[in-house]
Amino acid sequence: MPLSDTKARSAKPGEKPYQLPDHDGLYLDVRPSGRKVWRVRLWLDGKEIRHTVGDYPDIGLQSARQKRDVAKQQARNGINPNTEKAEKKQASRYAAALTVKSVSLEWLEKTGVKRGAKYQEQIRRVLAADVYPAIGDMPISSVKPIHVLGVLQSVEGRGSKCVAINIRMWLSTIFRYAIITQRCETDPAATLRGVIERDPVQHSRALNKAELAEFIHRLRNYKGNRTVTIAIELIMMLFARTAEVRKARWDEFDLESAEWRIPADRMKMKRPHIVPLPRQAIALLQELHIITGNCPVLFPSTRNINNPVHATTYNTAILYMGYERRELSMHDFRATASTLLYESGKYRAEVIERQMAHAERNQSIRPYNHAEYLPERRQMMQDYADMLESLSVRTI
């Protein structure tokens, strides 16, 4: 007598597995765990095999009978439905490994050693936020330029042009990796090169001495946090990059030797850098030490004294001094120092460039040029600090 759905539903587990037969080889296997599994007896090449259809009640009685009929027809055609099922699972797993997301993650894993940890994390974060939700589950071989364009335009639409440009570049690299590993045949991101253009670069500008004197006057009248004004004075006086000053640590300074030694991992060019300290800078650092000397960094965040202040702190202070956005930025003080030092005619170019921590422009001598020019740089730094001091006197 064929099995009814009521009987299948009400079947209780026993101490041992037992079977409830239906019809034409189909039966319900009831296990001690309470799991109920549809199975069917088949004959293939004169041998009995058993094929698992699926769990009850996920697969109801009528669906189980339909799957039984399909399995029996396969057996009559000489096809083992168990093998067919395994092959489908394998194909499904293989297809999952061919999605944009899976190939991207594989590419990141395989090539991660070639890039820094921070850059690697940036790529992961952007792909997860902007690429995977849109095309991550698509087979990588079926992605067309229109799909990639949709991603780029979405990111550009929220005002993140640089992110969109980076996404196109990263996707193009991922597609090229997929081509090499035989997962797709074309790079749809390559055809979109230039579809989003960068905004014009806002280059640093050099202030003349009158503009510099005006800034010093505004800085002296700024009512903000004293640590902020000290940081700005040091950036202006030492013409280090803003991030180098902002992240400076007390253990990098030797005030007796009048030197600030910045380790390579904090320098743009990834080589250690010595900054000779003029007497004006030492006075500022001694004052600052009274305020933040108990912290590892010179300019700690108010939220966590182990971390430096936010990157926008000093440019925000400039706005409060009455300057318009893009009228002046902290990086302008490096251009100012470089221009004024060159215009003075008193210092050799290699001395200025070494103090600016620029890369050696001559490719052939770059690996051999380790000259520090410290005596000349000390004099140059003191001369420049004296010049700034003379401008501050004029503003009083």
> What are the DSSP calls for 244-298, one per residue?
HHHT-BGGGEETTTTEEEE-GGGSTTSS-EEEEPPHHHHHHHHHHHHHHTTSSBS
Structure token digits, residue 138? 């698509």
Where does residue 198 rank: exposed (0-12), middle (13-18), buried (19+ CB within 10 A)?
A: exposed
Catalytic residue among 36, 101, 334, 354: 334
Q: How far apart are CA 332 and CA 242, in angstroms?
A: 10
Candidates 65, 68, 241, 247; catalytic one = 241
CA angle 238, 240, 246 (to 5 degrees): 105
Active site includes 110? Answer: no
Nearest of 258, 261, 298, 251 to residue 278 by alpha carbon:
258
Residues 6+ apart with CB under 8 A from 9: 57
Question: Beta strands of the chain (E only): which ranges?
Answer: 18-21, 26-30, 36-44, 47-56, 253-254, 259-262, 273-276
Question: Is residue 370 flagged as an active site residue?
Answer: no
Tokens of 308: 């430096």
Look up 331 and say whether it is catalytic. yes
Q: Is residue 220 flagged as an active site residue? A: no
Residues recorded for the chain: 396
Question: Is 88 annotated in the active site?
Answer: no
Which of 223, 325, 368, 370 is catalytic? The answer is 368
Residue from 9, 346, 358, 366 carrying the catalytic annotation: 358
Active-site annotation holds for 147 = no
Catalytic, out of 110, 226, 268, 366: 268
Q: Encoding tokens for residue 344?
A: 């003075």
- Which of 85, 266, 331, 378 is labelled catalytic? 331
Indicate which residues carry an active-site annotation.
241, 268, 331, 334, 358, 368
